[in-house]
RNA sequence: GGGCCCCUAGCUCAAUGGGCAGAGCAGGAGACUUUUAAUCUCUUGGUUGUGGGUUCGAGUCCCACGGGGCCUACCA
């Protein structure tokens, strides 16, 4: 029953992970009393911390949710893609390449740290903005929520008070999932773990200060953390909490501040992550939310959250864990981006549907690489082949379904693809020798048999092929056209060679045509043997052709081999060819 | 300690709720006036890491083992 045809003989609709995740989301919503008529949307949620460049691994969070939400929209169901920016998280560490003085901001919310590059209002915005732009190009539409705004607006005040009131139960749950600490001797083995150990020792010291051991443990595991009113950092230690007044007293370890914040009237902190996440599931009514596999491990946030959400009378959303996305090939490093490729980087070389395809065609738990190297060519070839297959309704299977999901969305329609599809390989190799002129590439591509009206017909692929060729193809793989004639080589030409070049230059027209140039290039050695341009080659001529071609490659691109000569001639133009084949005067 | 992923052609990888093991590259043959790095056609190549199990049927599900990789514990 798994496959084939339904009872009436009609082909069964293909099913993929998106279909199943969407089914799960619907089921989850229905269990919560939702009906399509309720007018309430099914909520698919994503979340991300804008602590650094949003790289291709983080992109999976957004796209996984997007595809599921899009599937629900295709079914005509009310749905929303809710995205939470965890910009109220603390700034943890100063990445390489940033002024070390930013260490002063560690502990402050990401939305409160200035942008070292000075182009945005905050650290968080600096990384949010480019990703949002990329997502727009990818056809992802979502409702964005800033956790800074929500917390500061007191949106979660009630939930915070509830968590604090229930802190013993929270601790019980957390403790259940906490496994035994690693033996001290092993923990001290690595430097990192030694540092962690030092931290825990320091914390033990802190614990000794306030009165009462039981109360201390209680406060040490407090589910709420205030940001210091004076310096804005979360380096606060709670010294007391009064359940009746909701007064929370704390001291700051990085500034002299000591004070009291009231959880009922003031909004100066946040719930700890493992409570924060399930709290939002309940508040927003989340039906589907994926997570990195790290969140799905036992004892990790999803597992714990599944229990804690009950405190809020909520249910954990349906979940899929996704694996990591790596980068392959020669990835260009960028200091301001920390060297990890982002969606924007990928979109410079991949059409938006192709990038979407990478994420939708594999099951979430499968890890994959986005390759910026030679695999790009193959990727486009496969994509084009799949596009041809998708044009035939009889061949609609799971692969074609992935193609459809990648190509268009329910709300934004079809994403931009070239009007005239030319193999990426061809665009790239022509771009390689044309010194970046789109018009010239267009002309050559037309000559070679891919007719089109204008350069625009080749976009958005052409620009990406040019970028890829220029920035991601290693120098050793590229064709380097000589800038000056090889005077030394031209000075010691053999008799045959001199004759060939003379024949060639005598007949080389100012405006090159592909067919004529082909005939000429192959014909020159024939002339040298007393044959006509159109005569069939003899074995002797074939040997001559080989030597002649090598000579031309030597003189034009300083190599023994290269792109097909007729194409190369067209790319270089008659003048350049003439100049490189003529001894300088 | 716990968990996850991977092992398929020489190489890189597909096969998406069990249903005929497939591509690309490389190799071979050929076509296009062409023994060239943009074209096209055909073709070689497999005990799916090992050993068991479930099933009419297993790359796919279960158990064990070997090898490789990743995550996780205290924090968010």
Q: What average pLDDT values come out for chain A (585 residues) when binned by 10 residues?
A: 37 80 93 92 94 87 94 95 95 87 94 94 94 95 96 96 93 76 34 34 34 51 93 94 95 94 96 93 94 76 88 91 74 50 89 92 84 83 85 82 92 91 86 81 82 90 90 79 85 86 86 81 85 78 83 85 81 85 83
Q: Note whether A361 and A63 are within 8 A (CB).
A: no
**What pLDDT does A226 receive?**
95
Euclidean distance between the first and final Cα of chain A, in Å? 81
What is the rounded CA–CA span in Å between residue A401 and residue A535? 53
What is the rounded CA–CA span in Å between residue A238 and residue A383? 57
Give the three-class secondary structure for A438: helix
Q: How far is CA A307 from the centre of its chain?
A: 32
A560 closest-nt by C1' vs CA: B36
Q: Give the residues across from A291 on adjacent strands.
A: A321
Geometric angle at alpha carbon A530, from A524 and A536, rounded to 5°:
65
Q: Left (φ > 0), alpha (ψ -120 to 50) or beta: where does A432 sit? A: alpha
Establish whether the CB of A398 is closer than 7 Å to any nucleic acid atom in strand B: yes
Report CA(A200)–C1'(B69) in Å, whole number: 30
**What pLDDT does A477 receive?**
75
Establish whether the CB of A280 is closer than 7 Å to any nucleic acid atom in strand B: no
Rounded-to-5 percentages of helix, strand, coil across chain A:
50, 10, 40
Burial of A387 from C-beta contacts in 10 A (0-12 / 13-18 / 19+): middle
Q: Left (φ > 0), alpha (ψ -120 to 50) or beta: where does A436 sit? A: left
What is the rounded CA–CA span in Å between residue A356 and residue A313? 36
Which residue's CA shows the smallest distance to C1' of B5?
Answer: A366
Q: CB-based contacts of A469: which residues, under 8 Å, 6+ apart?
A: A428, A429, A431, A432, A478
Q: How far is CA A382 from the centre of its chain?
A: 20
Q: Do strands A224-226 and A269-271 pair parallel, antiparallel, or not at all (unpaired)?
A: antiparallel
HSE-CB at A506 with a 13 A cutoff on CA atoms is 9
Give the three-class secondary structure for A163: helix
Report CA(A294)–C1'(B3) in Å, whole number: 9
Establish whether the CB of A546 is closer than 7 Å to any nucleic acid atom in strand B: yes
Establish whether the CB of A297 is closer than 7 Å to any nucleic acid atom in strand B: yes
Closest Cα to residue A424, out of A481, A356, A472, A390? A472
For strand B, list residues 86-105 of chain A whose Cβ lies within 7 Å of it: 86, 89-90
Q: The tokens of A181 are what?
A: 């600490």
Establish whether the CB of A438 is closer than 7 Å to any nucleic acid atom in strand B: no
Q: What are phi and psi of A119, to 5 degrees?
A: -105, -5
For strand B, list residues 123-162 of chain A whose Cβ lies within 7 Å of it: none
Geometric angle at alpha carbon A70, from A69 and A74, rounded to 5°:
120
Q: How many Cβ atoms are within 10 Å of A260's Cβ, its own excluded? A: 16
What is the rounded CA–CA span in Å between residue A224 and residue A564? 68
Which helix (H) or strand (E) segment holds residue A371: the answer is strand A368-371
Q: The tokens of A213 are what?
A: 């051991």
ipTM of the complex: 0.86
């Amino acid at each position: 029953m798994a496959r084939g045809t339904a009872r009436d003989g009609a082909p069964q609709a293909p099913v993929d992970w998106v279909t199943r995740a969407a089914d799960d989301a619907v089921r989850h919503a229905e269990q919560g009393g939702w009906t399509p008529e309720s007018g309430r949307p099914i909520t698919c949620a994503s979340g991300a911390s804008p602590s650094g460049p949003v790289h291709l691994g983080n992109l999976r969070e957004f796209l996984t949710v997007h595809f599921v939400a899009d599937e629900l929209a295709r079914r005509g169901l009310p749905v929303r893609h809710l995205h939470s920016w965890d910009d109220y998280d603390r700034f943890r560490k100063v990445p390489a390449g940033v002024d070390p003085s930013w260490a002063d901001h560690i502990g402050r919310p990401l939305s409160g740290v200035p942008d070292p590059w000075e182009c945005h209002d905050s650290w968080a915005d600096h990384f949010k903005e480019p990703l949002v732009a990329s997502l727009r190009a990818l056809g992802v539409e979502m409702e964005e929520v800033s956790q800074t705004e929500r917390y500061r607006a007191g949106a979660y005040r009630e939930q915070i008070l509830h968590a604090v009131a229930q802190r013993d139960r929270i601790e019980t749950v957390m403790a259940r999932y906490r496994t035994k600490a690693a033996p001290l001797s092993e923990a001290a083995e690595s430097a990192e773990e030694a540092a962690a150990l030092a931290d825990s020792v320091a914390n033990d010291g802190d614990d000794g200060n306030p009165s009462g051991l039981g109360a201390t443990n209680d406060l040490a595991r407090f589910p709420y953390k205030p940001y210091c009113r004076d310096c804005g950092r979360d380096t606060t230690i709670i010294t007391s909490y009064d359940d009746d007044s909701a007064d929370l007293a704390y001291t700051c370890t990085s500034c002299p501040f000591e004070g009291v914040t009231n959880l009922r009237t003031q909004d100066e902190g946040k719930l700890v992550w493992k409570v924060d996440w399930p709290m939002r599931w309940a508040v927003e009514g989340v039906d589907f939310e994926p997570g990195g596999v790290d969140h799905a491990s036992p004892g990790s946030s999803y597992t714990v959250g599944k229990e804690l959400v009950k405190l809020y009378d909520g249910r954990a959303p349906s979940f899929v864990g996704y694996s990591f996305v790596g980068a392959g090939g020669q990835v260009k490093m960028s200091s301001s981006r920390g060297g990890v490729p982002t969606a924007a980087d990928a979109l410079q070389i991949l059409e938006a549907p192709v990038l979407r395809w990478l994420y939708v065609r594999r099951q979430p738990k499968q890890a994959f690489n986005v390759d910026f190297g030679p695999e790009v060519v193959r990727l486009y070839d496969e994509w084009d082949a799949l596009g041809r297959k998708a044009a035939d309704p009889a061949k609609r299977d799971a692969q074609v379904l992935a193609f459809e999901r990648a190509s268009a969305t329910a709300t934004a329609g079809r994403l931009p693809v070239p009007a005239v599809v030319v193999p990426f390989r061809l665009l790239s190799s022509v771009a390689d020798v044309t010194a970046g002129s789109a018009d010239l590439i267009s002309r050559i591509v037309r000559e070679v048999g891919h007719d089109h009206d204008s350069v625009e017909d080749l976009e958005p692929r052409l620009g990406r092929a040019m970028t890829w060729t220029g920035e991601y193809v290693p120098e050793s793989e590229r064709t380097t056209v000589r800038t000056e004639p090889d005077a030394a080589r031209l000075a010691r030409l053999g008799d045959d060679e001199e004759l060939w070049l003379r024949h060639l230059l005598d007949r080389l027209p100012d405006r090159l045509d592909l067919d004529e140039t082909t005939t000429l290039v192959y014909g020159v050695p024939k002339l040298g043997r007393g044959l006509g341009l159109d005569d069939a080659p003899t074995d002797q001529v074939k040997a001559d052709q080989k030597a002649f071609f090598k000579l031309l490659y030597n003189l034009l691109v300083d190599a023994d081999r290269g792109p097909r000569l007729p194409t190369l001639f067209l790319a270089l133009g008659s003048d350049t060819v003439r100049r490189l084949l003529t001894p300088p005067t």
